[in-house]
């Protein structure tokens, strides 16, 4: 199965990205998936702002700084 990018969304804040995704009706986002996206977007933003390591579906470790 080949994955195709159907939409690229960018923004400065998680809420901007979240609202853009929710308003794309062709995506058919379920409420529980919308909640999940909001949570992960905010967590990723917090990680970026605080130089923390981000791993999807895992809690942020506030003591684990990102290293390249």
CA distance 5 to 26: 13
Q: pTM higher than 0.75, yes or no?
A: yes
Distances (CA, A) of 49 to 4, 11, 22, 64: 30, 14, 24, 13
For residue 65, the model assigns a pLDDT of 87
What is the gyration radius of the CA atoms in the chain, in angstroms?
14
pLDDT digits (tens, 9 = 90+) for 6-55: 888 999 999 999 998 888 877 788 889 989 999 999 999 999 999 999 99
For residue 10, the model assigns a pLDDT of 92
């Amino acid at each position: 199965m080949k994955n195709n990018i159907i939409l690229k969304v960018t923004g400065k804040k998680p809420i901007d990205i979240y609202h853009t995704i929710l308003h794309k009706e062709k995506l058919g986002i379920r409420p529980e998936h919308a909640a999940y996206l909001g949570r992960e977007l905010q967590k990723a933003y917090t990680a970026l702002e605080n130089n923390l390591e981000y791993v999807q579906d895992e809690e942020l470790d506030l003591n684990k700084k990102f290293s390249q």
